[in-house]
Amino acid sequence: MAKWVVREGNVFWPSEEMKKVANISNSDVYEEADKNPVSFWEEKARELKWFKEWEKPYEENLPYFKWFIGGKINMSYNCLDVHLKDKGDKPAIIWEPEPPHGEARIITYNELYKEVNKFSNVLKKLGVKKGDRVGIYLPMIPEVQMAMLACARIGAIHTVVFSAFSPDSLRHRLNDSGAKILITSDGYYRRGKEITLKDKADEGIKDTGIEKVIVVRRTGSNVNMADGRDFYLDELMKDAEEYCEPEKMESNDTLFLLYTSGTTGKPKGVIHDTGGYAVQAYLTTKWIFDLKDDDIFWCTADIGWVTGHTYSCYGPLLCGGTMLVYEGSPDYPDPGVWWKLIEKHKVTIFYTSPTAIRMFERTGESWMKKYDLSSLRLLGSVGEPIGEEAWMWYFENVGGGRCPIVDTWWQTETGGILISSLPGIGPIIPTFAGKSFPGVRMAVVDESGNELGDEKPGYLVQKSPFAPGMLRGVYGNPEKYKKTYWEKYKTMYDTSDGAYIKNGLIKIEGRTDDVMKVAGHRLSTAELEDTITLHENVVECAVVPRPDEIKGEAPVAFVILRGKEREGLKEDIIKLVERKISPIAKPAEIYFVDDLPKTRSGKIMRRILRNLISGKELGDITTLVNPESVEKIKEKLKL
C-alpha cells in the first residue's frame, strides 16, 4: 500500500511517491508567490473561466480592498458548465441519507447542472433578482448545494442558516439580511429522530420580510403549507425551464453572507465576494487537499458553517471533484457509520474536526477496525487546535500511518484556508498549523503591531495584500467591520487569535477575545449571557469557557438570581438557551452565585472566572472592587 508521508522523529515529510503525484511539490512556490502575491493570485485566477478579464488585479483603500476589479465571473458556471464537456457523467455529489431513511444518490455533473438551472429559473419566477438575499435553512441534502448554486447562478446572495439553529436565530439572520425568500425542507433525520424543520421555519419567519417559502420534500411528512406563500420545490421544478443564463457578476459582487459570532450578543453577517472567494476556494482545495480527478473528497462539516460552504460545496466543485455529503451524525446508528461510508465509497481525502477525532478516540479503535480504510490518502483537521495525542491517534488509526494530516487554520471571515502545510512539500509537525499559504502573509505581532521573533507568543494578523477570499465587510454595519478587524492594527487584519512561530511554522493558541469554540462551533459568551439574562429569575450572568476533553471548550455560566434557587431552574435556563440559540450552545454547567468579580467601572472580570474553572493561576485581582466574591465562588466550586 502506498505511503504518502514519511516520518523523521517528530517531523513528517511527503514520501517520494507523494512528491511525484502532488498538485504542488516545489517549495520555491512560497518565495515566488511572496515576491509578488498579486501577480501570483492573478496567474491562479486565470485557471478559472472569466467572461471578461479584470482591468486591475488589486486595489487597497483600507479597511477595504478589492480583487480582480472589472472582471466578470459566475460561480455556478465555474462549478458546473465548465466541467460538462469532459466530466458530464462524473459524480459531483455522492449523497448518503441517515440510515435507514432512503438510498444513496449519485448526482453527476450533468444532473447537477440540470437541477441547478431549473432551480435558478424557479427562483427567478418567484421574483428573485440579482442582489436579493435568499435564506437557506436546510439539512445536509443535495438540494442545499443546488440552492446555493442556483442563487449564485442568478446573482442572488445566499445566507445559509445552520439547520440546528433555533427559530429565533433564523429570524435574526433573515431580518438582518432582509431576505424575502426562504428555502427549507419538510424535515430531516437526525440520530434516528425526524426533525420537523418546516415547523421551526414557520416560527422563525414570523415578524420577518419573508414572502415566499420553498419547501424541499425530504421526509414526506405532512407539514403546514400556507396557501400562496409556501411551495414544494418538486412542484415548482416540474414546469421550470431547463436552461438559465448565468449572470455575469463583477468579481467584487457579493456571493453570500454568513452569520458568525463575535464579541457582542448578535451574530454579524460576514460578506464574501464572488471572484476572490472563488479563486481562494479553488486553489486551496487543489493544493492543500491535493484534489485530483479520481479522488473522493469528504468534508464532514455542515453546510451551515463556512467549512461547509468552501469545502462541502464550492472548492471541490470548482476543481471538478467528487464529494461525499452525509445527512447524519457521526455516532448514529453506531460509531462505525463514518468508517462504513469511507469503505463503501472509497473516500480518499477526509476532512473533519478535532472534536470528532477526540470523540472517536474515546469510543475506541474497534469501530474503525471493522472497515477497510485503505482508500484514504490524505487527512485534514479544522476549527480548533488539535492536541498531539489526538493528532497521533488520527494519524495511526484513521490514516493507518500512511496519510499526511493537514491542520488547516482559517475563519468564517477568511473564506478559505490561510495557514496549512502543503502535503506535497511539508514539513508537517503535529499541533503546528504550518506556513501561510503561498501568496498570503500571516504574522505574529505584539500589542503595538511589531513583529515578534521565533517562539514569542503574540497576536496573529494578516498583512497586505489581503488574501482574495477575505471578507469584504459586515452586512449593514461598516462600523462593526472597522472596529472588529481593523481598529487595533489599522494596516493589518486582526484575527483575534493568539499564536507563535517556531522554525517557520505557525502554532495557533486559540482566541484572545470572548469567542468560544465549543465542539468547533463558534459561540460568543455575550450571546449566551444575553439569552440567559432574559430568564425572569436571572439578574446577571457571566459565561466563560472551560476546557473540555472532547469538545475542546464547554460554556459555563455564573448566574446571580432574583430570589431563591428552586428545583428545575437550571433545566429551565438550559431550555431557554436551546430555544433561543441552539442545543449546541447549552451551558455544560450553571453555578448560582451571590456576586461576580468586577472592576471599579462595573466590568465583569471574566478572565478570573475563566482561570478559576480551568484551575489556572488567578492573576492580578487587585483591581477588583469585590475580591471577596472570588473566595465565595471558590467555595461554590469546592476548590
Number of CB atoms found within 10 A of residue 35's CB: 8
Q: Give the shortest CB-441-to-ligand PRX separation in angstroms.
A: 17
Between 116 and 461, whose beta carbon lies closer to ligand PRX? 461
Site string for ligand PRX, 439-478 (x = CB under 6 A): ----------------------------------------
Between 18 and 499, whose beta carbon lies closer to ligand PRX? 499
Q: Give the shortest CB-517-to-ligand PRX separation in angstroms.
A: 6
Between 208 and 307, whose beta carbon lies closer to ligand PRX? 307
Instruction: Write the CA distances from 69 to 42, 248, 279, 523, integer angstroms.
Output: 11, 13, 14, 35
Between 144 and 515, whose beta carbon lies closer to ligand PRX? 515
Q: Which residue in 115, 250, 290, 497 binds ligand PRX (CB under 6 A)?
A: 497
Question: If you write DSSP's letter for every residue of 31-47 in order, what string do you get?
Answer: HHHHH-HHHHHHHHHTT
Q: Give the shortest CB-174-to-ligand PRX separation in angstroms.
A: 21
How many residues in the shown chain lie near ligand PRX by CB under 6 A? Answer: 21
Main-chain phi, psi angles of 5, to 5 degrees: -150, 145
Identify the helix (H) or strand (E) that includes residue 259. Answer: strand 254-260
Q: 358 Cβ partners below 8 Å, 6+ apart?
A: 390, 549, 550, 552
Q: Which residue in 164, 223, 306, 337 binds ligand PRX (CB under 6 A)?
A: 306
Q: In 3-state terms, what secondary structure has residue 250?
A: strand
Q: Give the shortest CB-322-to-ligand PRX separation in angstroms.
A: 22
Decide: is 390 part of the binding site for ligand PRX (CB under 6 A): no
Number of CB atoms found within 10 A of residue 490's CB: 11
Measured at the alpha carbon of residue 581, what is the angle toward residues 412 and 602, in degrees to the nearest 5? 90
Site string for ligand PRX, 505-544 (x = CB under 6 A): ---x-xx-----x----x----------------------
Q: Which residue in 407, 514, 527, 553 binds ligand PRX (CB under 6 A)?
A: 407
Q: Which residue in 385, 423, 430, 552 binds ligand PRX (CB under 6 A)?
A: 385
Q: Give the shortest CB-416-to-ligand PRX separation in angstroms.
A: 9
Structure letter (DSSP) for residue 412: G
- Residues 391/507, Cβ–Cβ less than 8 Å: no
Q: 74 Cβ partners below 8 Å, 6+ apart?
A: 51, 152, 153, 155, 246, 247, 248, 249, 274
Q: Give the shortest CB-398-to-ligand PRX separation in angstroms.
A: 17
Q: Give the shortest CB-507-to-ligand PRX separation in angstroms.
A: 9
- Write the burial class of residue 176 (CB in 10 Å: 0-12 exposed, 13-18 middle, 19+ buried): buried
Q: Which of 519, 546, 514 is nearest to 530 (CA)?
A: 514
The pairing of beta strand 589-592 with beta strand 552-561: parallel
Between 472 and 522, whose beta carbon lies closer to ligand PRX? 522
Q: Which residue in 285, 411, 436, 582 binds ligand PRX (CB under 6 A)?
A: 411
Q: Which residue in 78, 108, 159, 408 binds ligand PRX (CB under 6 A)?
A: 408
Q: Give the shortest CB-388-to-ligand PRX separation in angstroms.
A: 13
Decide: is 382 part of the binding site for ligand PRX (CB under 6 A): yes
Interactions with ligand PRX, residue window 156-175 (CB under 6 A): none
Q: Which residue in 109, 314, 410, 493 binds ligand PRX (CB under 6 A)?
A: 410
* 84-87: Cβ within 8 A, 24+ apart: 84/109, 84/110, 84/113, 86/320, 87/293, 87/320
Structure letter (DSSP) for residue 466: P
Decide: is 76 part of the binding site for ligand PRX (CB under 6 A): no
Between 268 and 402, whose beta carbon lies closer to ligand PRX? 268
Of 73-81, 90-98, 410-418, 605-613, which segment contacts ligand PRX by CB under 6 A? 410-418
Query: What nine digits make up the cell of 450?
Result: 511589531
* Strand-by-strand arrangement of the 230-232 sheet: 230-232, 212-216, 181-185, 133-137, 157-160, 254-260, 268-273, 473-474
Site string for ligand PRX, 421-440 (x = CB under 6 A): ------------x-------
Structure letter (DSSP) for residue 583: G
Between 290 and 407, whose beta carbon lies closer to ligand PRX? 407
Number of CB atoms found within 10 A of residue 584's CB: 17
Q: Give the shortest CB-301-to-ligand PRX separation in angstroms.
A: 8
Interactions with ligand PRX, residue window 245-304 (CB under 6 A): 260
Strand-pair partners of 497: 511
Site residues (vs ligand PRX, CB under 6 A):
260, 306-307, 382-385, 407-412, 433, 495, 497, 508, 510-511, 517, 522
